[in-house]
Structure 1
Amino acid sequence: MQHLFQAVAIFAFGCLLIHAGRAYARATTLLLSATVLMLSVTLGTVLCQRIGLPGRSVAAGPSYTVALGRPPQ
């Protein structure tokens, strides 16, 4: 009976490690995807600025002072 308990304990520990590894892999994949998305947006913005395509800069953005009823400065 003692050998059976050890085998079940090792099996349960292995299952726990597999589940923890899957959760870690899922979280890592999510973080890497977010990082790649941010880098691609940054690179796209820089490239558009380099070649002169209109982008959303501070000057081209919406005027919040006009939206609030104040005249632009």
Structure 2
Amino acid sequence: EKVEDDVDDGVCYQVTEKAENFNNAQITCRNMGAELASIHNLQENSFVRRLAVSKGAVSGVFLGAIASGKDNQ
């Protein structure tokens, strides 16, 4: 599977069809020495969205996130 590079931030992304749920997606990424994509700004969001659409990920994608603030209880 081809790795896509967002040249503006130096982050590489790979779309895979191996995962059916969040836990499997996380395991798949970690087995490749990577983490699930995390979105930090509009530019990253646009890049990941375009990449997902171009790869036919029409049913959604799994993203990594960390809860913070009062909601993290």
Normalised by the size of structure 2, how large is the TM-score? 0.25
The answer to which structure has the higher helix fraction is: 1
Select the structure with the greater relative contact order (CA < 8 A; seq sep ≥ 6).
2
Task: Please say which structure displays the higher CA radius of gyration.
Answer: 1
